[in-house]
Every structure is written in structure tokens, then in C-alpha cells.
Amino acid sequence: MATKPLRILHCAMFSVNKYGANYYSGHTRLSNGFIRNGHFVYNFSYRDVAREEAPLGIKELGMKKMNKRFVETAERISADVVLLGHAEFVEAETLIEIKKRLPNCKIVMWWVDWWHNLVKYDAVMSRRMSLLDALFMTSKPDYVREEYAPTRDVDKFFFMPNSCDPSMDTGNAYDVAKPMHDVLFIGRSFGSRESLLAHLKQNMGDINLGLYGQGRKNFVTGHRYMELVANSRIGISFNRDNTMPLYTSNRMVHLAANGCLVLTPRTPRLEEIFSSDEVVYFDTVHDCEDKIRHYLAYPEEAVEIAKAGQKRAHTDYDARVISSMMLKKIWA
């Protein structure tokens, strides 16, 4: 691993045009982690650049110009690492050109969405894999290799947890005397989530239930999102797919890091990330309801588990820890 400060070009969807709505995003957390570990990070918001560079609003021309600007930026800062956060519009030819101009530069990708969306952008992703010096995903690498063949072309493929940030995740929900909600769920309604949401609505009308993100009227972003997470007794983390080993959305870490008692389905190998002493696992929607009612009736137990989950999040999943791990793996 390099012992000197690195110059990192971080290409991700920083959403400049959303003016703070997604300030707590995982890519911002990662950039913060690298910076706090003493590295220089240049954030390249590829979609914003493509939009800005599009003549007459022609998207395709904007994409071409964005790729050109990306190469220019890498060369101008003499990047030691090009870090691709999804960056699905960055072409393989662009990465090849960066390698020509900066032969010692490491090209790395992280992917925190479910692996299925790699297939959505297969035309780009399949050609990119052999060019990567390392790939990091929030799913078990062997599982993804089996399901998505192009990832077998990557020599270094590692699991990465979602990260928390001590400057963002400052809540202690277990200490709030008058919480905004007894139970909070934030997320879109589709797949197996629909049955959970229907059950909660039909059977738990007697508690202060906060359901957000299922439509435009209750979609939350920015500080409102963080405020809800830090001021609810129980937070439900429910993925769109609960069969992928190790996979969870970043919301689980957000909830735990801000002191919520987290309830989540028993996803394969998830207890390696948070043990049953740090979050509460459930097997069915009825089991979820039973555990909600139990921990609302016995708040001392809820606080003990929530504090343990918060400690684990801030100890093991701080962005400084995650970014340091990534650099060690890249140069391993």
C-alpha cells in the first residue's frame, strides 16, 4: 500500500443539481473517509458534468464530452486512484485512455446497489471489468461472480460494508424523550416490501408509525431524512431482495449509527455485519409485528441493543475504516 498521501479522482453521482438533498449519500461519506485519512479527493459528479456539457440539451453529446472531461481531470490532478462509484456512463475507452496517460494509476469501482443493476448497464459494465484493478461490492463476491459472469474478469473482488460518518450520523435516537415515530420505515414499495407495508398499516394502527418514500407526497431527503432516522425508536431495514448474502441497503447503517433499534429480515450472513445482540432479526411479517410490540413494551431491552448497534456502526463502519480497508486491498 502507498505510504504517502494519494490523489483520488472520485467519480460518482454527487448530485450537485439537487442542492443538498442527498448530502448524506454513501459516495460523500467515502470521500470524507479518504480525506480524513490524509488523502486528496477530487469529486467528479459525472451526471452533472454530462448535463452541463450537453449542447442544446442533447444527452448523448453531453455523455461524450463528460468522458473527455473525465480523462482531462485525471491527467490534470495526476490521479493515483480513479474511483468509480457506479459511474455507469464512463466508457471502457475512457479508462483505457486514462491508463495510457497515467500507467501507474489504479482504476477501482465500488457498487452499493444490488448486483442486478450491473446487468442493466451490461454494455458498459461487461467491458469495464477486465480494466479494473479492484472491485468492491456490498454483496458476497462469490455470489456475484456466480450470477454475473463478467465480474470473473476482475482479479481483486472484495466485499465492502456501507459506511457511517461521524459528522452526519450524530443522533442518539434511544435518548429522545418524545420521538417522532415509534416505528420508522423509509423506502419504496415494491416486491416483498409490499406485504410488510400492508401488514403494518392493517395491524399496527395503534402505534405511531412513520412510513416514507412510497410516493412523491411522502418522499424525504436532506436533513428531514436524517432527522427522522435520529428521532425514531425503531427503524425497519428491509431490502428489495433479502436473498443475497451480506447485502443490505445503506439505510441499515444509517439507522444503527443514529441509535435506532434496527429490525431487519434474516438475510444470509448478515449477522457477520451486525450480530443479534446489535440488531433484531425477524423471519415473517407477523414475527416483525411481535418484535415491534415486545421492544416497545420493554424499552430498556431496546436501548441496550440499539446502543450496541450504534457502537458497532461507528467502530467498524466509519468511512475512515472502510476507505482505509479499500486502499489496503487495492495494493494487497
Amino acid at 287: D
The pLDDT of residue 277 = 98
- List CB contacts of 299: < 8 A, sequence separation 6 or more: 233
Closest CA to 190 of 114, 246, 85, 125: 114
Crossing angle of the two packed helices 285-297 and 299-316, in degrees rounded to 10: 110
For the entire predicted model, the pTM comes to 0.95
3-state secondary structure the chain: CCCCCCEEEEEECCCHHHCCCCCCCHHHHHHHHHHHCCCEEEEEEHHHHHHHCCHHHCHHHHHHHHHHHHHHHHHHCCCCEEEEECCCCCCHHHHHHHHHHCCCCEEEEEECCCCHHHHHCHHHHHHHHHHCCEEEECCCHHHHHHHCHHHHHCCCEEECCCCECCCCCCCCHHHCCCCCEEEEEECCCCCCHHHHHHHHHHHCCCCCEEEECCCHHHCCCHHHHHHHHCCEEEEECCCCCCCCCCCCCCHHHHHHHCCCEEEEECCCCHHHCCCCCCCEEECCHHHHHHHHHHHHHCHHHHHHHHHHHHHHHHHHCEHHHHHHHHHHHHCC
Q: For the chain, which residues score pLDDT lower than 70? A: 1-2
The pLDDT of residue 2 = 60
The pLDDT of residue 216 = 80
Crossing angle of the two packed helices 26-36 and 319-330, in degrees rounded to 10: 80
The pLDDT of residue 51 = 92
Span 205-232, pLDDT tens digits: 899 999 998 888 889 999 999 999 999 9
The pLDDT of residue 40 = 98
The pLDDT of residue 114 = 81
